[in-house]
Amino acid sequence: MPTHQVQLSPYEIEVTEVTYQQFLAFMNILGPGSHRNGCGGQPCLQTFTESDTSNITLTTTYVVPSVISNHPANNVTWHGAQAYCQALGRRLPTEAEWEFAARGTDRRVYPWGNLWEATRANTNRRLDAQEGTEPVDAYPDGISPFGLFNMAGNVAEWVQDWYSPVYYNQQVSGGVAPVDPTGPAVGQEKVVRGGSWDAVPFFARTMHRQVHEPNDPEAWIGFRCAADPQAAQQPVQALPVVQPTIDLNAIGAGVPGGTDEETTANSQPTLPPPPTLAPTSTLSQPLATLEPGG
């Protein structure tokens, strides 16, 4: 993809990736068994039963080992990520918003600058040779110009856009940069941005693009939410905006059609506070440049 400039209205984006603690609180509001079709009628996540790469288990509730509760939630579908953000009155960032938040106005190759440094991001080139995620506030020396953590590693992140190799070429009209592009209206694969613990540094570049089917969760894909300034001021909602296919009022009465791993919830939890939102610009239309990806 050649270089493109776009204009972005003010927006806010979460400083850290969404943690297991935050996402599973949302899932436990939906109730046991909801991971199969509880996010707008689509799957939300994979448990260990469906994939041995998942750390999430389901007994009476969705849980992970407490030692990783502040690690980024992964094995989450695009629909699960979208439903969580909507439950908070937020949304997934667009591809253009994500890239601008990662690289800033000086068009950095990595969130911290233009030279690769292995100590600033969790990729498969870690000096300690360990594998897997780290807490969402790890690697403070690798923050972006706007103070965002782990835009180059830990987990790659779902964004709002469907993928198209020609979308940005089609948006340019008379040399004028498109305003707030959101990607194609339809598609088969969603865009994923950022590097991960499972990827080489090439994937950690701020302009790198990947694509992935929205219902194909992976241990290396997580997400963070964004918001329009007015939406960011709304109080956190206790229940999701996207109506699940199970009855929230029936939590505690069992889920019809469940398997032996699905049991009733003991009580209805509440969502923990979401990550802090960082404003990306006070300009009415900040100019962002999308570099060639790949």
Distance separating alpha carbons of residues 70 and 240, to the nearest angstrom? 21
pLDDT of residue 228: 86
* Whole-number pLDDT of residue 96: 92
Q: What is the pLDDT of residue 229?
A: 79
Q: Rounded to whole angstroms, what are the CA distances from 265 to 26, 62, 156, 250?
A: 13, 10, 31, 10
Residue 178 and residue 93 in contact, taking contact as beta carbons nearer than 8 Å: no
Please state, rounded to an integer, the average pLDDT across all residues of the chain: 80
Q: In this predicted structure, what is the pLDDT of residue 50? A: 95
Global confidence as pTM: 0.81
pLDDT at 273: 59
What residues in the chain have per-residue pLDDT under 50?
234-270, 281-287, 289, 292
The reported pLDDT for the residue numbered 126 is 72
In terms of C-beta density within 10 A (0-12 exposed, 13-18 middle, 19 or more buried), how is residue 251 classed?
buried
Domains of the chain, start order:
1-231+272-293 (3.90.1580.10)
What's the confidence (pLDDT) of residue 139? Answer: 96
Distance in angstroms (rounded) separating the CA atoms of residues 278 and 276? 7
Whole-number pLDDT of residue 237: 35
Query: What pLDDT is attached to residue 255?
Result: 25
